[in-house]
Amino acid sequence: MSTKGRLHIATLFLTVMAFFAIVSVLPSPLTRSVYADQNVVLTLVASDYSVNPGDIVTVNVFANQLDHVTRFGPIDLRCNSDMVEFVSISQPIELANFNYTTDTSEPGHFVVSAVDEVVESDISSGEDTSMLYESDIILFSVSFRIGAEASGGIRFWLDSADGFRNSSMEEYSAAIGDGITVNVEGTVSDDSDLIELQITGTTLTPDFSSDVYEYSCSVGNSIGDVEVIATARNNGASVEITGDSYLQPGQNVITVDVIAENGISMSTYTIYVTRQGSFFAEGATLEDRDGRSYTFVTAPAAYDLPEGFVSGTRTINGYDVPVFAKEGVVSYLVYLSAGDGEPAFYFYNPTNRVITRYNKDNYAIISSRILNVVAVPDSVKIPDGFKADNITTSEGVVLEGFSNSEGVFIAYMVDEAGNEAFYRYDPESGQFVDYKTVDRTAERIYGLFFRIFMVISLIESLIIIGTVYLVRRIIANKNNPRPRRV
């Protein structure tokens, strides 16, 4: 081989060796080795360092940085348990993917651990998706309410902070500071702010903040009342809520007044709630089997419906409409306008298309049928032994009817198909059942014949007795004739 060839081979060899030397010193994304020396430091920061009895104070646990940490804890936060009441533990939005576990069973001890199971699963598959936070970040926050008898200084400190693990699966402990002191003043609180404001089932805009006093939200058309949850920061403050009931379609205003413990300071939070308009499409109508037409209208915010009927949606006459249905009952309750008066609730039977107006004072349900009390026609005889009476059913409905001396109660009712009959109330099941009258015609005929036969027998007996008596007299007279006078 020529000298020039050997020189080329040597140059190539040196180039390859240099390449591997460089690669060997480059940090692998899954094998970092600098975490244990990064000196994570945890500190405590309070939301307020001067408080009054009844106030809520939040203690935030900060880390000066988190370099691809996938889990931490247990971290043990402690305080003077005799002067505070635990309220809640929360996690920051930055660590929303972490699964937190807490232990607050021991007074004065609040132990928190967290792990990002998704990231650790990705790492086991060869992909590192952990995050780098190079500045201060909250690990968790603990809120306390200052006790009514608290005074002086309340100490909060970290007793231990272990279990930090990075994406290289290296574990280490964090450095902890000396803790903080929150001073309790002896004055009456002038705090009139909330620490929580929400409406169940909807979301406020913007997100709640104690120093933001106006919000908005929307609810569906079927919502007439809303539940407002408002918590004052100071336990001595009073909260008054108005406008949360009988919402009308369109914009409604709910006010939350917070009056401080001193009775002077006051804050008002305002929520603009938009209740959606009519649920129904234009032309949503319903026609019964007799050709009468009804129009679907929005039900009122407050109503009194039978027990067991719950709101839902059904397709009726091609429209998806809100109804109230009960399990086992064919008919729905729908709110309709007949065009000749005020709208009202009606029972609608989708099987036979019968529509019956709901009257809370004279209805009953039997075998999925809807029954209504009606007057007894002149052509119908009330069963013997029954007198006018009324009864309160198990559903609280007062029905007029008839009862007898044995405590049996019956009512004359008509079903959705127009069939009228007497129905008997069963107090054990709370339901009405068909009432069958007993035909006593044969019994009365047998009684009449029995009485006739008894009379005939009595007459026959008298005839026989009279005949025997006469025969005996005749015989006696023959055997013992009277002497004749001469």
Q: DSSP label at 419?
A: -
What mean pLDDT comes out for the span 247-255?
A: 87
- At residue 471, does pLDDT exceed 70? yes
18 compared with 244, residue with greater pLDDT? 244
Q: Are 267 and 213 in contact (CB under 8 A)?
A: yes
Distance CA 360, CA 293 (A): 23
Q: How many other CB atoms sit within 10 Å of the CB of residue 306?
A: 20
257: amino acid identity, one letter: D
What mean pLDDT comes out for the span 73-83?
A: 91
Q: Which residue has tokens 């059904």?
A: 314
Can the peptide bond before residue 74 be classed as cis, meaning omega within 30 degrees of 0? yes
3-class DSSP state of 61: strand
Label residue 159 by pLDDT band (50, 70, 90).
very high
Label residue 438 by pLDDT band (50, 70, 90).
low
- At residue 12, does pLDDT exceed 70? no
Task: Give the pair of three-digit tokens for residue 148.
Answer: 């009514």
Q: What is the pLDDT of residues 360-377, one digit of tens each?
A: 766 676 655 678 888 888
What is the reported pLDDT for 39? 73
Give 286's contacts (C-beta < 8 A, 6+ positions apart): 293, 294, 295, 296, 316, 317, 334, 336, 348, 355
Q: Are 199 and 229 in contact (CB under 8 A)?
A: yes
Largest CA distance in the chain: 207
Judged on CB neighbours under 10 Å (0-12, 13-18, 19+), 181 is: middle
- At residue 430, does pLDDT exceed 90? no
Nearest Cα neighbor of 415 from 458, 367, 343 is 367
What is the reported pLDDT for 62? 95
What are phi and psi for residue 88, nearest 5 degrees? -165, 160
What is the reported pLDDT for 5? 55
Label residue 15 by pLDDT band (50, 70, 90).
low
Label residue 21 by pLDDT band (50, 70, 90).
very low
Please give the C-alpha separations between residue 205 and each of 212, 242, 332, 430, 467, in angstroms, as whole numbers: 10, 19, 37, 49, 115
Q: DSSP label at 36?
A: G
- At residue 4, does pLDDT exceed 60? no
Among 171-185, 229-243, 293-307, 413-427, the range scoring the smallest mean pLDDT is: 293-307
What is the reported pLDDT for 30? 32
Distance CA 224, CA 302 (A): 7
What percent of the chain is modeled with pLDDT above 70?
85
Distance CA 38, CA 68 (A): 12
Please give the C-alpha separations between residue 262 and each of 20, 147, 211, 239, 399, in angstroms, as whole numbers: 75, 17, 19, 14, 56
416 compared with 99, residue with greater pLDDT? 99
Q: DSSP label at 205?
A: B
What is the reported pLDDT for 147? 87
What mean pLDDT comes out for the span 235-264?
A: 90
Distance CA 414, CA 420 (A): 4
What is the reported pLDDT for 440? 59
The strands making up 266-275's β-sheet, listed across from edge to edge, are: 214-219, 266-275, 250-259, 238-242
What mean pLDDT comes out for the span 18-23?
A: 46
The per-residue pLDDT of the chain, averaged, comes to 82
Distance CA 377, CA 375 (A): 6
Q: For residue 316, list its beta bridge partners.
A: 319
Radius of gyration of the chain (CA): 45
- At residue 317, does pLDDT exceed 50? yes
Nearest Cα neighbor of 141 from 70, 216, 50, 77 is 77
Nearest Cα neighbor of 104 from 79, 83, 71, 138 is 79
Q: Which helix (H) or strand (E) holds 21?
A: helix 3-25
Nearest Cα neighbor of 317 from 303, 299, 300, 334 is 334
Q: What is the pLDDT of residues 92-118, one digit of tens each?
A: 999 989 999 999 999 899 999 999 988
The model carries a pTM of 0.46
- At residue 141, does pLDDT exceed 90? yes
Label residue 270 by pLDDT band (50, 70, 90).
very high
What is the reported pLDDT for 358? 84
Label residue 23 by pLDDT band (50, 70, 90).
very low
486: amino acid identity, one letter: V
Among 51-60, 336-345, 357-366, 400-409, the range scoring the smallest mean pLDDT is: 357-366
What is the reported pLDDT for 32? 31
Among 57-66, 301-310, 378-387, the range scoring the smallest mean pLDDT is: 301-310
Q: Are 246 and 302 in contact (CB under 8 A)?
A: yes
Q: Are 157 and 179 in contact (CB under 8 A)?
A: yes
Q: What is the pLDDT of residues 375-412, one digit of tens each?
A: 888 888 888 889 999 888 877 778 889 999 888 898 88
